[in-house]
Amino acid sequence: SDRSLLILPGDGIGPEVMDEVQRVIAWFGDKRGLGFAVSEDLVGGAAYDAHGTPLTDATMARAQEVDAVLLGAVGGPKYDALDFSVKPERGLLRLRKEMDLFANLRPAQCFDALADFSSLKREVVAGLDIMIVRELTSGVYFGEPRGVFEEGGQRVGLNTQRYTEAEIARVARAAFELARRRGNRVCSMEKANVMESGVLWREVVTEVHAADYADVELSHMYADAGAMQLTRWPKQFDVIVTDNLFGDLLSDLAAMLTGSLGMLPSASLGAPMANGRPKALYEPVHGSAPDIAGQGKANPCACILSFAMALRYSFDAGEEATRLEQAVERVLAKGIRTGDLLNVEGATPATTREMGDAVIAELEAS
Residues that bind Mg ion in the complex, under the rule CB under 5 A: 248, 252
Site for ligand NAI in 13-72 (CB under 6 A): 13, 17
Please tell me the number of Cα atoms within 13 Å of 157 on its side-chain side. Answer: 2
Q: Assess 134 for contact with ligand NAI (CB under 6 A).
A: no
The answer to whether 1 is annotated as binding is: no
When binding is defined by CB under 6 A, the residue of 286, 312, 330, 337 that contacts ligand NAI is 286
Q: Assess 5 for contact with ligand NAI (CB under 6 A).
A: no
- Confirm whether 248 is a catalytic residue: yes
The answer to whether 277 is annotated as binding is: no
When binding is defined by CB under 6 A, the residue of 60, 93, 124, 261 that contacts ligand NAI is 261
Strand order in the sheet with 265-272: 37-40, 4-10, 68-73, 278-284, 265-272, 103-109, 129-135, 239-242, 185-190, 217-222
* Per-residue interface string for the shown chain with ligand NAI, residues 149-188, x marking contact by CB under 6 A: ----------------------------------------
- Confirm whether 97 is a catalytic residue: no
- Confirm whether 30 is a catalytic residue: no
Based on C-alpha coordinates, what's the Rg of the chain? Answer: 20
* Alpha carbon separation from 42 to 15, 70, 164, 355 (Å, rounded): 10, 12, 35, 25
Find the Cα–Cα–Cα–Cα dihedral 210, 213, 214, 220, rounded to 10°: -70
- 248, 279, 282, 313: the catalytic one is 248
Q: Assess 299 for contact with ligand NAI (CB under 6 A).
A: yes
Return d(Cα 121, Cα 130) in angstroms, integer: 17
DSSP 114-141: GGGGSSS-HHHHTT-EEEEEEE-SSGGG
When binding is defined by CB under 6 A, the residue of 24, 74, 125, 174 that contacts ligand NAI is 74
The answer to whether 279 is annotated as binding is: no
**How large is the greatest C-alpha to C-alpha distance in the chain, in angstroms?**
70
Q: Assess 75 for contact with ligand NAI (CB under 6 A).
A: yes
Q: How far is the CB of 121 from ligand NAI (least distance, A)?
A: 23
The answer to whether 159 is annotated as binding is: no
Contact 48, 54 (CB under 8 A): yes
Q: In the chain, where does DSSP find H-type helix?
A: 14-32, 45-51, 57-65, 88-98, 122-125, 165-180, 196-212, 223-232, 244-257, 301-313, 318-333, 352-365
Q: Assess 288 for contact with ligand NAI (CB under 6 A).
A: yes
- Confirm whether 212 is a catalytic residue: no
Residue 298 touches which member of ligand NAI, Mg ion, none, C-beta under 5-8 Å by kind:
ligand NAI
Nearest to 17 by CA among 288, 346, 270: 288
Interface residues toward ligand NAI, by CB under 6 A: 13, 17, 73-76, 89, 92, 261-262, 283, 286-292, 298-299, 302, 338, 340
- By annotation, the residues acting in catalysis are 141, 191, 224, 248, 252
Q: Which residues are annotated as a binding site for Mg(2+)?
A: 224, 248, 252
Binding site residue list for NAD(+) = 76-89, 287-299
